[in-house]
Amino acid sequence: MKGKAALAISRDLGLSYKTAFVLLHKLREAMAEELKGRTLGGDGKVAEIDGGYFGGYRKPANLAENRVDRRLARYQTGKRKAVVVIRERNGRSIPAVFRSEGQALSFIRSRIAKGTIVNADESGPWDALHAKYEMRRVNHEEAYSLNGACTNWAEEFFSRMRRAEQGHHHHIAGPYLLRYAQEASWREDHRRISNGDQVQLIAALAMKRRQSVDFSGYWQRN
């Protein structure tokens, strides 16, 4: 299960779409409680990092002669953001959202313990991490895994997040992108336990939550 659309929840429970949307986001807030202050790795442990871009879709022009290369910065909307995930092998994960992968370096350094072996692809921003960690890099144009280096665990996270976007939500960009990433991380970390146990965990987290961070005063458009 990759998630459930707010519109489907509204039909199933007989609620308005707005009520279902807020309910789901408050549950995502509760899931995020488990991620607070989390650090990964340590001596001899292995972690993987990877980034994926979401949002900022620009519809191509109808006529071929009017179409532009949407990969170029001047033709982008400025709304596209990078979700960066750290995932410990056989362990937990932590996502965060930035304008670009390069802005994630301080986050990565603060969340990966010293002594961790860090696996990453050949993306330029990760070069700066060599000063602190033992790095293993893999060029995905050559192989998915090579000489002990791979980012398959991190890419699994993005695979499931993309499936949730395409299959349920269709749009997970904007101010709530981090919440969707945190939900995907929670689901990934707990995918081996039963649905009933997952419900119990989420209910317990929700009951411990105080006032909502995202939706306090939202009726007043705050």
47-94 per-position pLDDT tens digit: 999 999 998 888 888 999 999 888 788 888 878 899 999 999 999 999
The span from the CA of 2 to the CA of 16, in Å, is 22
4: amino acid identity, one letter: K
Asked whether the predicted pLDDT for residue 221 surpasses 90, the reply is: no
User: Where is 48: in which H helix or E strand?
Assistant: strand 46-54
| pLDDT value, residue 183 | 94
Helix boundaries (H) for 52-176: 105-111, 152-164
89 part of a folded domain: yes
Q: What is the pLDDT of residue 219?
A: 63
Rounded Cα distance, 153 and 89, in Å: 7
Which residues neighbour 133 within 8 Å (Cβ) at sequence distance 6 or greater?
112, 114, 116, 117, 118
Kindly list the distances between the CA atom of residue 31 and the CA atoms of 36, 66, 109, 149, in Å, as whole numbers in the listed order. 10, 44, 23, 31
DSSP 139: -
Tell me what the pLDDT averaged over the chain comes to.
91
Burial bucket for residue 66 (CB in 10 Å: 0-12, 13-18, 19+):
exposed
Burial of 195-209, coded b for 16+ CB within 10 Å and e otherwise, reads: eeeeeebbeebeeee
Which pairing describes strands 145-146 and 149-150: parallel, antiparallel, or unpaired?
antiparallel
Q: Is residue 217 part of a domain?
A: no
Residue 139 falls inside a structural domain? yes
Evaluate whether residue 9 is within a structural domain: no
Q: Evaluate whether residue 12 is within a structural domain.
A: no
The residue ranking higher by pLDDT, 215 or 16, is: 16
Q: What is the mean pLDDT of residues 1-16?
A: 88
Give yes or no for a contact between 213 and 29, defined as CB atoms under 8 angstroms apart.
Answer: yes
11 is a domain residue? no
Q: If pLDDT is split at 50, 70 and 90, which confidence band does 222 have?
A: low
Domain around 140: 38-193
Q: Which residue has the tokens 């900022």?
A: 56
| Residue 121 is assigned to a structural domain of this protein | yes
Query: What's the pLDDT tens digit per position in 88-140?
Result: 999 999 999 999 999 999 999 999 999 999 999 999 999 999 999 999 999 98
Low-confidence winner among 54-58, 95-99, 160-164, 191-195 (lowest mean pLDDT): 54-58
Would you mind telling me the total number of residues written for the chain in this entry? 222
Q: Into how many domains does the chain fold?
A: 1
Confidence of residue 26 (pLDDT cuts 50, 70, 90): very high
Q: Examine residue 199 and state whether it is found in any structural domain, yes or no.
A: no
The residue ranking higher by pLDDT, 151 or 210, is 151
Burial call 133-158: b when 16+ CB within 10 Å, e when fewer? bebbbbeeeeeeeeeebbbebbbbbb
Say how far apart CA 208 and CA 2 lie, in whole Å.
Answer: 24
